[in-house]
Structure 1
Amino acid sequence: MTPPKKRRGGVRKDAASESRLIGTWRIYESDLWNTDYLDMVDPATMTIPANGLGESCFGVVTYATDIRFAGPDDIAFTFAGSDEGDEVGVLEIELSFHPGDDAVLKARRM
């Protein structure tokens, strides 16, 4: 038997095929921001595609994600994006801005 393919961080490359998270998610709640802020520019969303190159937007924050699939209900990601033009480093999304706030966002599948 051939061992599973690996992706950076020791996560199985083929785990995307098992993921129940692939799709577009509507961010509806945050512990830091109200819904008026979340939907300020566009509806707040996170897209999780099978190829792992996703995107998200909420408020004035937009970012591209590099997603690693760890199992059917588990992903990790790094991101690069902007917050009002400045660099920033149900589904719960935990974000830590460098340096800055930590936030928890909640989303439902669209």
Structure 2
Amino acid sequence: MAESLFFNKRVKYITEDPNRLWIWDKVTFMDEQRRTWLPIILQTENNQQVLLRQQRIQVGDPLSPSQLTSCPLPLMWQQDSERKYRANDDSIWRIVYHIEFCGTEDILLEKMPSQE
């Protein structure tokens, strides 16, 4: 119980999400404030999630879409509605959470089933 109280006091839920996240290179996304985000892909049989961790890193020149053809993630997410992003491939991703813990921001996105 004490661990849970400690964790809850250290976690800050963020309510302002980036408007856009676009791929910069094979391992980096960038938001409109030029903050860099590193993705971790979490894949199960029925579900695809991406944990984006905001971390300041040095970036080189951006890669072109033709250089990113093997990337398993969308090239861009744009805020579509509250707590949801639309990717460049028209998939919808919901924001499971956006938190700050010990000074590090994390956003967990989950791909929604297609409405076909």
TM class, shorter-chain normalised?
Answer: 0.3 to 0.5
More strand by share: 1
State TM-score, norm by structure 2: 0.34
